[in-house]
Structure 1
Amino acid sequence: MAKFELKLPKMGESVAEATVTNWLKEVGDTIESDEAVLEIATDKVDSEVPSEVDGVLVEKLFDTDDVVQVGQTIAIIETEGDGGEDSCTPESSAVETKPKPEMVDAVEEKVEVAKQSTQTAVESSDDRFYSPLVKNIAKEEGVSQSELDSISGTGKDGRVTKNDMLAYVENRGQQQAQPKQEAAQQPTTSKPAPAPAPKQKPAVSVNGEDEVIEMTRMGKMISKHMVDSVQTSAHVQSFVECDVTKVWNWRNKVKGDFAKREGEKLTFTPIFMEAVAKALKDYPLMNIAVDGDKIIKRKNVNLGMAAALPDGNLIVPVIKNADQLNLVGMSKAVNDLANRARQNKLKPDEIQGGTYTVTNVGTFGSIMGTPIINQPQVGILALGAIRKVPAVIETPDGDFIGIRYKMFLSHSYDHRVVNGALGGQFVKAVADYLEAWNADREV
């Protein structure tokens, strides 16, 4: 027998820690390789941590709601054989059926040392640990290191959490007003200006017939991101009606053969994403981000694709280097990300790095929408429902009324850096690519 240390895996460049949200296995449970052991949550996405070996869970080192650093050991799994180089014990005998007592003692001692090291790192005043998210909030709000060190944390072992930071920043102005007033007082009869009263949120009245529903963790995150985006960007919209009759007829013609050959459905989404990727290459100043008073021009075209989750929330997986994919590759990427989003199996780095976002409001029957920009991007395109409508058709022989398939493209963009001309030209380019679709194209 041997002991294997299950560690928190790396989850993207910007993710340094995660919160344990649910243990899927209990001590004594048998675990197979690649089977999920626990669920975790970062500030980006929820995910599962699978086992790398077959064995039995013998120890859980963290409880629900504990924060774990990338690379830390989360659990101990007892395995058959020597367990390889990642196991806790350096040696194991193939003929033994029970671990040696000294081996168990070594494991327990190592785990205890790890726990004490973590606690010491948190409690040390000289080297107190702060998560990247907490550090970013401190930087954005101008919180000094001495202020940060003085904040009482409510997390595990006194760790300062995001909520601690937000509460401190909210009350900071009121807390600093009193010392400033006392320092500014002169031995005269003049009275110091009263400190501004904190803004009070209107109370919500609840009677016995109302139902109070607690927002989910993801719901709270989405709520904050949406408010932050509206407060950051000057949202402006442009709308274009697009004739997608050629696309509609072409897809109906090829979707059967595509499904037989590729084993997947050909939806409209990859077709639209291809057109957006082409338009971003034509108008690279839509593929940018804003950093203070600087504009970052992105080299890669990474398309975010808003996907609905079973609980009603939205998540935005990212198709990396979308401009380099053909339609088959785009279709496979769209289907894969959408399916795993619904199953809550996306990896944290699969929802990061987007440079532009597309959302299909037509899925819910909406003909158009005014979506909120996904920061720090500067644009987001909403795809409206495809409708069969009467339309004027221009021909060399004159105009006539015919039945066409049409949809609205709604483009929201950041008016701080994108003017109306660029915002309008970009969405018109997307429409032009779709209307000029080659009816004889092979896929």
Structure 2
Amino acid sequence: MPKMGESITEGTIINWLVNEGDSFDEGDILCEVATDKVDNEVPAPASGRMLEHVKSAQEVVPIGDVIAILELSNKKNKSSPPSGEMPKGQRGTKQKPSKNEENIVHPSAPKNTIKKKPKQASSFTVNKNIFISPLVESMAKAHHISYEELSRIPGTGKEGRLRKSDVITYIEEGRPFKFAQPVPEVSGFQVPDLTFDKGTGKIVKMDRMRQMIADHMVFSASTAPHVTAYVEADLTEMVQWRNANKVAFKEKYNEKLTFTPLFVEAVARAIQDFPMINSSLDGENIIVKEEINIGMATALPSGNLIVPVVKNADKKDLKALAENTNELVGKARDNKLKGDDTKGSTFTISNVGTFGSLMGTPIINQPEAAILATGIIKKRAEVMEREDGDSIEVRHMMYLSLSFDHRIVDGYLAGSFLKRVADNMEQFDTKRKF
């Protein structure tokens, strides 16, 4: 294993480019070696034949250890034995080569013997089997580049392997594949690359918050495979109880009794029953949150969106939930929210019904696992099953839609959780006191 820097003590053999028994010419690349600081192609010091790979691909080898045994011709290597014979004392056995022989990159070998033939990527694809060297991995961590994004970067190394220069160029270009999606290779008809006419009109520059929202939404949609499930809930009992008690609640606590704290309460109870919905994905690990902090998607006067958070919603009674939600909504509308008011959300509710929407398909508030949208509460004629027979009654109905990250939440969990939220709303205790 050749020395590749003062502080380098070991290297990883990425792959062998010359198989055992194959011949090679001086300057041919024998193997590729990765370290935590530099990636190297190891050239042949002279023409010859590969006798044995002492170390295998992906094996970590200390500097100076034997990685291969070569048979070198005397054309280009003065130190090789005449007529291809092995030195005295090594005939018939494979002894440990001398220090100069171990370091395949011979000091006397000219620098221009390394043949670099970069392979240019003609189109954007995802390399699922990409090898990430320690150097590239450390660069990616420093710039917060995920493994998924690394797989999108065209590599110019052997078989598309990423080099340090590839990552540097990619970063200098502004990380163009940060939110990109791969285009599958298909045969037959290809959709042409169209240039769309975006029309003319008044130009409105996005403010900083809108740009951040746009980036966050694109990131969420491109990172998490979104699936949306729907249920319909009969909120008649909840609506009637709230209408009958909102005045008394206001007089007693000086707080408005909206549907928001009632929704937060129903969701928090359902999360207690299905804690896996209250989670985040960290690489290959799922983090199930201990706290239940409910975010409320709230529109600002500017039209932008912000998510204030009700902390420990499962531990608060209706009075505390009403105070908390009213305070946060008021701060949002007055642009007085503080940093702590919008941090720590583990699950988000988006009340699209506020704007008259029947239902919605919300985008997950990363890094959460799911988001619930509540639609407009609408009176409808429904068939009700009673002991004395079916009847048609006017009921207050609402659609609930749950968008979830299918990487960590499957249909069974999502459907069960959503049904539990609906049940909590439908089975509202109309005799409850406050």
Please indicate, yes or no, whether the TM-score normalized by the shorter chain is above 0.5.
yes
RMSD of equivalent CA atoms: 2.9
Secondary structure, counterpart of 1:366 in structure 2: coil
1:420 is the counterpart of 2:411: yes
Residue 213 of structure 2 is matched in structure 1 by 222
Answering whether residue 181 of structure 2 is matched by residue 169 of structure 1, we say: no
Tell me, in whole angstroms, the C-alpha distance in 1 between the residues paired with 2:359 and 2:177.
41
What is residue 340 of structure 1 aligned with on the other side? 331
* Structure 1: gaps (5+ residues): 1-133, 152-163, 173-199
**Equivalent in the alignment of 1:434:** 425
Cα distance, 1:366 vs structure 2: 0.5
- What residue in structure 1 maps to residue 69 of structure 2? none
- Is 1:406 aligned to residue 397 of structure 2? yes
Per-residue deviation, 1:205: 4.8
Alignment of 1:293-304 (within 5 A): 293-304=284-295
Q: Which residue of 1 aligns with 2:113?
A: none
Taking the aligned partners of 1:336 and 1:274, their CA distance within structure 2 comes to 16
> What's the CA shift for 1:201?
9.7
> Who is 1:368 aligned against?
359
Does the C-alpha gap of structure 1 residues 322 and 252 become closer, same or farther in structure 2, counting only changes over 3 Å?
A: same
SS at the partner of 2:228?
Answer: strand
Other structure's SS at 2:379 match = strand
Percent identity between the aligned chains?
A: 45
**Residues 171, 232 of structure 1: CA spacing in aligned structure 2 closer, same or farther, 3 A cutoff?**
closer
Deviation at 1:203, TM superposition (A): 6.5
Matches of residues 241-320 of structure 1 in structure 2 within 5 Å? 241-320=232-311
Q: Judging changes above 3 Å, is the alpha-carbon distance between structure 1 residues 343 and 204 closer, same or farther for their aligned structure 2 residues?
A: farther
Q: Distance in 1 between matches of 2:239 and 2:423?
A: 15
Structure 2 partner of 1:389 = 380
Q: Distance in 2 between matches of 1:351 and 1:202?
A: 40
Is 2:128 aligned against 1:137?
no
Aligned counterpart for 1:354 among listed residues 338, 345, 351 = 345
How far residue 169 of structure 1 moved from its aligned partner, in angstroms, is 2.5
Cα displacement string for residues 240-287 of structure 1 (whole angstroms, at most 9, x for unaligned residues): 110000001100111001111111210001001100000000000100
Whether the 8 Å contact between 1:138 and 1:165 is mirrored in structure 2 is: no
CA drift of 1:358 comes to 0.3
Alpha-carbon offset, residue 139 of structure 1: 7.0
Change beyond 3 A, Cα 1:216–1:201 = farther
How much has 1:353 moved relative to structure 2? 1.1
Quick one: structure 1 residues 135 and 348, their matched pair in 2 at CA, closer, same or farther if it must change by over 3 Å?
A: farther
**Alignment-mate amino acid for residue 237 of structure 2:** K
Q: Which has the larger radius of gyration?
A: 2
* Structure 1 residues 180-223: Cα deviation after superposition (integer angstroms, max 9, x where no partner): xxxxxxxxxxxxxxxxxxxx99565554xx11110111111111
SS in 1 for 2:383: strand
SS at match of 2:407: coil
Higher relative contact order (CA 8 A, sep 6+): 1
Alignment: residue pair count: 270
If each structure's helix is expressed as a fraction of its own residues, which one has the higher value?
Answer: 1
Aligned AA for 2:380?
A: V
TM norm structure 2: 0.58
Whole-angstrom distance in 2 between the partners of 1:167 and 1:298: 37
User: Distance in 2 between the 1:389 and 1:255 partners?
Assistant: 23
Matched letter for residue 257 of structure 1? A
Instruction: For 1:137, give the aligned amino acid.
Output: H
Give SS of 2:175's match.
helix
Structure 1 counterpart of 2:274, one-letter code: Y
1:323 aligns with 2:314: yes
Whole-Å separation in 2 of the counterparts to 1:233 and 1:138: 16
CA distance in 1, matches of 2:246, 2:335: 28
Checking the alignment, whether the CA contact within 8 Å between 1:387 and 1:407 is kept in structure 2 is: yes
User: Whole-Å Cα distance in 2 between the matches of residues 171 and 339 of structure 1?
Assistant: 39
